[in-house]
Amino acid sequence: MPDRRNPRIGVLSALQAEQQLLLQQLLAVRPLQLRGQRSFHRGRLWGFEAVLVLSGVGKVAAATSATSLIAEFGCEALLFTGTAGGLGEGVGIGDVVVAEQCLQHDLDASPLFPRFEVPLTGRSRFAADPAWTERLAEGAQRALQGMLEDDAGAARLQGLGITAPRLHRGLLLSGDRFIAGPTQAAELRQLLPDALAVDMETAAVAQVCADYRVPFAAVRCISDRADASAHIDFDRFTTLMARHYGAAVLRLALRGF
């Protein structure tokens, strides 16, 4: 029987730079395994048996990766870490968003079903697991504070013009459309005023986890404002900030402080 106090976790990232530091911390115990076009890395991550996968970009890529983690590798909880575009008021570059709910903003099967509702499920919003969400949120808060207090972390923040990064918890949107203009962002804010951020994968993974009844949680670092009102070089931001955030948050969450 699996140990429910220390479940086998699956950790997804969309981009290689977001996964890099996690791979460096993984104590590999199994050879790399290929499923389709995905590489699955099995080992121990801060005391947990873990499987890491680079999902790729978009909902289909994320959903197939999540399904393999659950059905083929026996993962009992899935965590997503990466970047997102800020939507909500006060959600700025360098902030961290921990998802409490996820929704696919580009799903519209109306008039057969209400807009955003996943057909035949009766819901549009998929809740993240409360216990894992709390662990990620506490880990994120400590990671943010640690980065401000660390000379190297503070220098990275200063180099990107970030002064006081904050933690946010709430609704995270996903869709197969990159939101990078004021018109698109304003439409999402009008339709979903409580949305904090937008990406291209998380809600798809949340739906897969709901289907399999597997706990799910996600943490995203804000790399830009989705309305293009504030923007920095994405590759530079990922190198200097996002990968460090993701690794630090998971380390603190998994170690239990």
Catalytic (active-site) positions: 18, 224
Closest to 171 measured CA to CA, from 145, 140, 203, 146? 203
Closest to 136 measured CA to CA, from 88, 202, 71, 188? 202
- Among the residues of the chain, which ranges form H helices? 16-25, 59-71, 130-149, 151-159, 182-191, 202-212, 234-237, 243-255
The token duo for 236 is: 């530079």
Residue 213 region by backbone torsions, left for phi larger than 0, else alpha for psi between -120 and 50, else beta = left
Closest to 87 measured CA to CA, from 218, 198, 230, 228? 198
**Cα gap 109→106, rounded to integer Å:** 10
User: Is residue 178 within 8 Å of residue 154, measured between CB atoms?
Assistant: no
**Cα gap 47→14, rounded to integer Å:** 23
Amino acid of residue 188: L
Phi, psi of 183 (to 5 degrees): -70, -50
